[in-house]
Structures are given as C-alpha cells and as structure tokens.
Amino acid sequence: MSIIKVSISDAKVANHPHRLRTTGLGSCVGIVLYDNQRKMAGMAHIMLPESTMARRGDLNLHKYADTAIEYVYEELITKGMKKQAMKAMIAGGAQMFQSKSANEMMRIGPRNVEAVKKELSSRGIPLVAEDTGGTNGRTIEFDIGSSELSVKTVAKGAKTLR
C-alpha cells in the first residue's frame, strides 16, 4: 500500500491498495469520488468555487470546484467506473478568517462547500458523508479498499467517515 499525495489545487485517481491524502484543507475542500465495488477513487483539493474566478490564461483545472470535479469524474469514467456506482465524501471548507463584515468574498470556505455540493448534485453523485465548516484546518486520507475517509482536524482530533 502506498499513499498518493494530492497537493493544493491538484487531483489524482487511483485504485486499491493505494490511499489518497491531502493536507492543509482550511477554506479549501477535499473531494473524494469513489466506487467501493470497483475499489477506485479520485481526490481533488480545490481552492475556489468557480473557474470564472480564474485570471485570464491562468486556468488550473484542479483549483476550482466546477472544473476539478469534472476532471476527476471524467478520469474515473474513462478508467471504467460506472456513473451509477459513484459516491462522494467531502471535508474542509472552514471559515479561516473571521471578518466583522459579511463580505461574500471572505466566505471562501462556505462558498467552496456550496459549489462542491452543487456540482455533485448536478451530476447525480450522492454525497454520503461530509466534515465541513468550523474554523480549523484538516488533513484527509481516503482508504480505497475500505472506502473510509480519515479526517484529522487541527485541535479537534480525528474521525472516520464511512
């Protein structure tokens, strides 16, 4: 078993016996699409909700909820995953910076979570578990064999999502 690291604004696809891990999820959201029968999964570490936020000529597909989910979805389908078998888990989306103003631009974490849920829903992918919000960063690791997502939250400990 090896751990495949998914960096910030990155996405990877793998099969059992590998695990997928990403660290530094503050306002970012870690997304896992998986099929527990085929033992396949993909993970993306998104920073922002929509690719329309990209500066001209600076489109990293893995940085945005809409394009990263599309990328992982297409990669898994290409590798033989059936759309009907696909499930999702997410973690992250913390409100890292407390602001006295209700400025929508400062709500990056909650906006990321909303965008991810919208993208999953538009593709008919069920969200089976999530650990989102709060004010603390997270590290996640997905075990493709057991379909379990380990979530370690700064100053809060660890939990397992199934």
What is the set of active-site residues?
Answer: 28
CA 68 to mean position of chain CA atoms: 9
Return the SS3 of 12: strand
Q: Which of 138, 123, 128 is nearest to 92 (CA)?
A: 138
Angle formed by the axes of helices 65-78 and 108-122, to 10°?
Answer: 40
- Length of the chain equals 162
- For residue 32, the one-letter residue type is V
Q: DSSP assignment, residue 9?
A: T
Report yes or no: 140 and 30 within 8 Å, Cβ to Cβ: yes
